[in-house]
């Protein structure tokens, strides 16, 4: 879902919680946006059929009757969502784990009763959270990836040696017992894999990637494919 779609849904959810007109300034505060953005979002929701009464300087109120189109999934699709959410909760950083739970809850809220119960009582289980899994630092690195900004990390080698490195975080891998980060390392002048449990510190920098992340990822895939081909020969 795009950031705009998420924001429109958030505006709807905020308006649903209030029975009296809500000031645009309050909506801007709760959504972390500007008044101009709130006004645009209100008009966008009205265009989609939401009956929102009010105007700037008075406040807005959502009249009953507007429902989002129901989300319909097969039982296999729902079980895949449940299992995926539980895997994320067991292996990802706390912020991503919480987001996965909220996403599943949002889906369950618009499902027919029978399917909602099916989701809540799913027998697909994941063992408890892996020890040491999901360092909060990985949330910072995910933000750096989205913003295409460099990050400075303190990295420990297998022997315990520490080095400060400026990296360009590109992707994350989730394995059975460890999470890894793929990035370009300015110290080593090449693509490297960094283990989550060896990243002791992380700070996102203002400097941006020299090229788009998708371009750098393609270069990494090509380099990795060439390395594997050379290993087989």
* CATH code: domain of residue 191: 2.30.30
Is residue 37 domain-shared with residue 116, that is, in the same domain? no
The pLDDT, as a whole number, for residue 66 is 59
Q: Are 223 and 182 found together in one domain?
A: yes
Number of domains, the chain: 3
At residue 2 the predicted structure's pLDDT band, cuts being 50, 70 and 90, is very low
Does residue 224 have a pLDDT over 90? no
By CB neighbour count within 10 A (0-12 exposed, 13-18 middle, 19+ buried), where does 233 fall? exposed
- Looking at the fold, whether 159 and 225 belong to one and the same domain comes out as yes
- The predicted model scores a pTM of 0.62
Residue 9's domain comprises: 3-62
Q: Is the pLDDT reported for residue 88 higher than 90?
A: no
Angle (CA) 77 75 91, round 5°: 50
pLDDT of residue 1: 39
CATH number of the domain that 33 lies in? 1.10.10.10
Q: Please state, in angstroms and rounded to a whole number, the distance separating the CA atoms of residues 210 and 71.
A: 40
d(CA 155, CA 162): 5
Q: Is residue 128 part of a domain?
A: no
Give 56's DSSP letter: T
């Amino acid at each position: 879902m795009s950031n705009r779609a998420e924001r429109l849904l958030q505006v709807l959810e905020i308006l649903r919680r209030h029975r009296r007109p809500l000031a645009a300034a309050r909506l801007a505060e709760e959504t972390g946006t500007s008044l101009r953005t709130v006004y645009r979002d209100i008009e966008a929701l009205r265009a989609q059929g939401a009956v929102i009464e009010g105007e700037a300087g008075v406040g807005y109120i959502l009249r009953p009757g507007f429902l989002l189109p129901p989300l319909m999934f097969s039982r296999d699709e729902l079980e895949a969502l449940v299992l995926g959410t539980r895997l994320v909760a067991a292996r990802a950083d706390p912020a991503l784990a919480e987001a996965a739970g909220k996403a599943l809850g949002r889906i369950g809220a618009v499902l027919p009763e029978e399917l909602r119960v099916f989701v809540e009582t799913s027998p697909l289980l994941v063992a408890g959270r892996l020890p040491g899994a999901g360092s909060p630092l990985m949330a910072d690195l995910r933000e750096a990836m989205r913003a295409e900004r460099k990050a400075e990390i303190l990295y420990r080698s297998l022997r315990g040696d520490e080095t400060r490195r400026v990296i360009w975080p590109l992707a994350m891998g989730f394995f059975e017992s460890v999470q890894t980060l793929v990035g370009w390392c300015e110290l080593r002048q090449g693509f490297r894999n960094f283990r989550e449990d060896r990243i002791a510190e992380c700070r996102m920098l203002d400097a941006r990637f020299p090229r788009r992340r998708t371009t750098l990822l393609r270069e990494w895939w090509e380099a990795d494919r060439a390395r594997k081909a050379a290993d087989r020969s």
